[in-house]
């Protein structure tokens, strides 16, 4: 779908997957004016195909696009575009009822970019919105084993007034060097702290964090500079339904270290569309390490199960989260 100020959104079409021909002076290549989303389509046992809370992705893209001075695509049009592609590509939504099929799904990537051809810093007057799809298996090669985290003290992800809450490529570009640092230190993922004080836990490169306490309370960093994960919001609701008190607040790195050392924190997990829910193992930084559970804890396992059961149609969708496509 294309956008210009005169015509609005127009020229919606579905084409076979193929390379794009892009003018070297397309604004996105120089000024990174773009936003994207990540979501999945799931096949249920009766063959039907569903997506998970697509209006939330649509609304988040609208917020991201506003921040990036891109035009807003109406959430209903966003959902319709994703549905239209899945309908055409439905044979690629994996069958999860086959023995050993696991939690496979069709990953969907809607994205919007400044396609106007000009050099100069101003919002583009020609914008393109596209959706691509690809079958997805497990996010981490080791399955649902704990991920180890590296605390970066050199790099931050987002400052006040910045783009931290937007899903835009620039945020990921700025996280790559920190993620490289994590890998070089033998860890799976990087943990970012706030840019202001360098004390408060924000999120991982591509996931939100939860800290389960001995008394069942669950703490997750408050929104503002983090990406407002749709899995994050869903887990808050699920955990509350399961009887947990969930606190969204600032959570310092000292609280993490001390909580694990004293046994006050019993489980830590991370969540996101791609990885669903993943237990967190050790946290390492320059000069130290706190260990954490070698396997997924009880709460982590229960939350994960409750969520995937709704997504794959094995449990009743009491929140009305699933959207039928086929």
Contact residues toward ligand PMP (CB under 6 A) are: 38, 203, 206-208, 227, 229-232, 272-273
Per-residue CA distances from 267 to 175, 270, 295 (Å): 25, 10, 10
Report the residue number, 96 or 225, with the smaller CB distance to ligand PMP: 225
Per-residue CA distances from 237 to 184, 274, 276, 321, 324 (Å): 36, 19, 15, 11, 21
Q: Please choose, from the candidates 257, 270, 274, the residue with its C-alpha nearest in 3D space to the C-alpha of residue 296.
A: 270
Report the residue number, 38 or 146, with the smaller CB distance to ligand PMP: 38
Distance CA 181, CA 256 (A): 21
Distance CA 235, CA 212 (A): 12
CB of 11 to ligand PMP, least distance (A): 28
CB of 206 to ligand PMP, least distance (A): 4
Report the residue number, 232 or 284, with the smaller CB distance to ligand PMP: 232
CB of 166 to ligand PMP, least distance (A): 10
Report the residue number, 148 or 273, with the smaller CB distance to ligand PMP: 273
Distance CA 126, CA 5 (A): 8
How many other C-beta atoms lie within 10 A of the C-beta of residue 74? 12
Report the residue number, 26 or 208, with the smaller CB distance to ligand PMP: 208
CB of 137 to ligand PMP, least distance (A): 17
- Closest residue to ligand PMP using C-beta atoms: 229
CB of 39 to ligand PMP, least distance (A): 8
Q: What is the CA radius of gyration of the chain?
A: 20
């Amino acid at each position: 779908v294309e956008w210009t100020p005169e015509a609005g959104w127009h020229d919606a079409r579905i084409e076979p997957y193929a390379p794009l021909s892009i003018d070297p002076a397309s604004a996105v290549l120089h000024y990174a004016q773009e936003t994207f989303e990540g979501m999945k389509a799931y096949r249920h046992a009766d063959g039907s195909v569903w997506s998970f809370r697509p209006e939330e992705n649509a609304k988040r893209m609208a917020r991201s696009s506003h921040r990036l001075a891109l035009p807003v695509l109406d959430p209903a049009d966003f959902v319709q575009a994703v549905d239209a592609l899945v309908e055409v590509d439905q044979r690629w939504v994996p069958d999860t009822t086959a023995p050993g099929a696991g939690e496979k799904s069709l990953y969907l990537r809607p994205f919007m970019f400044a396609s106007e051809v000009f050099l100069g810093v101003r919002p583009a007057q020609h914008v393109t919105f596209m959706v691509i799809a690809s079958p997805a298996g497990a996010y981490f090669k080791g399955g649902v084993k704990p991920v180890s985290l590296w605390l970066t003290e050199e790099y931050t992800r987002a400052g006040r007034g910045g783009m931290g809450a937007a899903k835009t490529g620039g945020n990921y570009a700025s996280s790559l060097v920190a993620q490289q640092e994590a890998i070089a230190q033998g860890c799976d993922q990087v943990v970012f702290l706030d840019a202001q004080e360098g004390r408060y836990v924000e999120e991982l490169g591509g996931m939100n964090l939860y800290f389960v306490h001995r008394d069942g309370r669950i703490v997750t960093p408050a929104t503002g500079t983090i990406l407002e994960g749709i899995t994050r919001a869903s887990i808050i609701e699920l955990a509350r339904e399961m009887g947990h008190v969930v606190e969204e607040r600032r959570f310092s790195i000292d609280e993490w270290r001390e909580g694990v050392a004293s046994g006050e924190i019993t489980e830590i997990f991370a969540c996101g569309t791609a990885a669903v829910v993943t237990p967190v193992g050790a946290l390492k930084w320059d000069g130290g390490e706190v260990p954490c559970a070698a396997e997924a804890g009880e709460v982590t396992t229960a939350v994960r199960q409750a969520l995937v059961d709704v997504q794959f149609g094995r449990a009743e969708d009491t929140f009305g989260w699933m959207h039928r496509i086929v």
